[in-house]
A and B are shown apart, each in its own frame.
Chain A
Amino acid sequence: DGGITQSPKYLFRKEGQNVTLSCEQNLNHDAMYWYRQDPGQGLRLIYYSQIVNDFQKGDIAEGYSVSREKKESFPLTVTSAQKNPTAFYLCASSTYQGAGELFFGEGSRLTVL
C-alpha cells in the first residue's frame, strides 16, 4: 500500500545527543515536510523540500537538520543545539508545491531524558 512511514515511533534521547528520525514515502510525491506538534499548539513547520537535493527552512528550523538525497526519503536530525526537543514529530508529503492532498505519517514521539 502507498503511504508514509516514520520510524521510530518512540525515541528516548539523553541531553547532548543527536538523533535522526526517518521518513520514507512511496507515493511518488515531490514535496516532503517535517512538522513539530506540541500539546495545545498548531503544527509548526521545521523544514520542507520541494525536490531532491533541495530543502528550505521552515518557521522553527534552529537545532534541526535534514537531507533529501532520494525522492522517497527525508530524514530529520534533531541536534543537541535544539533547546527543547521533546515533542511529537510529523512527516508529510504532497504533490509538487503542496498543490494536492497532504499525507501524514504516523508520527515519532521524541523524549529527552
Chain B
Amino acid sequence: KNQVEQSPQSLIILEGKNCTLQCNYTVSPFSNLRWYKQDTGRGPVSLTIMTFSENTKSNGRYTATLDADTKQSSLHITASQLSDSASYICVVSVYDNNAGNMLTFGGGTRLMVKP
C-alpha cells in the first residue's frame, strides 16, 4: 500500500530559527515528490516538485531534499518568519498509465512560529 509518513506531527519554533521537516514514503513506482504549504482554512500552495533525479530544490527560504534510495525527503526552513506558521504537506506521485499522476498525501506537519 502506498503510504507517506511525516514527522513531527507538530512543531513550535522561535522566529528566526531554522527547522527541518521529514517525509518518508513507500510509494511505487515513484514519479515525483511535492511539498505544499497550507495556511489554516486555505487551500495548499506548492513549494517544490522534485523528480527522481533531483536531490535538492530551493524556493526562497525553503529547501527540499530527496533521497530516492532511502525514500526520504526533508523540507528545511531557514530563518523562520511568523508567516511560516502553517501545515506542510508532503505528497508523492505515482504514474499510472490509465489514470496519470495519482497522488498520495502525508498527514502534514503543523508548524507554529512564535515571536
Residues of A within 8 A of B (CB): 4, 6, 31, 35, 40-45, 48, 50, 56, 88, 90, 92, 94, 96-99, 101-107, 109
CA distance A50 to B99 in the complex (A): 8
Question: Considering the complex, which residues of chain B in the window 14-64 have a beta carbon less than 8 Å from any beta carbon of chain A?
Answer: 34, 41-46, 49
The reply to whether A106 and B42 form a contact with Cβ atoms under 8 Å apart is yes
Taking the closest CB of chain B, its distance from the CB of A109, in whole angstroms, is: 7
CA distance A104 to B37 in the complex (A): 11
The reply to whether A102 and B34 form a contact with Cβ atoms under 8 Å apart is yes
B97 closest partner in A (C-beta): A97
Pick the residue among B9, B102, B104 that contacts A98 (CB under 8 A).
B102
Using known A-B contacts A42-B89, A102-B34, determine if residue A97 contacts B99 with beta carbons closer than 8 Å. yes
| A-side contacts of B4, CB under 8 Å | 42
28 CB contacts below 8 A, A to B, read A4-B43, A6-B43, A31-B100, A42-B4, A42-B104, A42-B107, A42-B108, A43-B44, A43-B103, A45-B102, A45-B103, A90-B43, A90-B44, A92-B43, A96-B100, A97-B99, A97-B100, A98-B93, A98-B102, A98-B103, A101-B46, A102-B34, A102-B46, A102-B103, A104-B44, A106-B42, A106-B43, A107-B43
A56 closest partner in B (C-beta): B99
The reply to whether A97 and B101 form a contact with Cβ atoms under 8 Å apart is yes
Taking the closest CB of chain A, its distance from the CB of B88, in whole angstroms, is: 12
CA distance A92 to B89 in the complex (A): 15
| B-side contacts of A40, CB under 8 Å | 9, 107
Chain B interface SS verdict (over half): strand
The reply to whether A98 and B107 form a contact with Cβ atoms under 8 Å apart is no
| B-side contacts of A94, CB under 8 Å | 101
| A-side contacts of B89, CB under 8 Å | 42-43
CA distance A44 to B102 in the complex (A): 11
Using known A-B contacts A50-B100, A56-B99, A107-B42, determine if residue A101 contacts B49 with beta carbons closer than 8 Å. yes
| A-side contacts of B105, CB under 8 Å | 35, 42-44
Using known A-B contacts A42-B89, A107-B41, determine if residue A99 contacts B46 with beta carbons closer than 8 Å. no
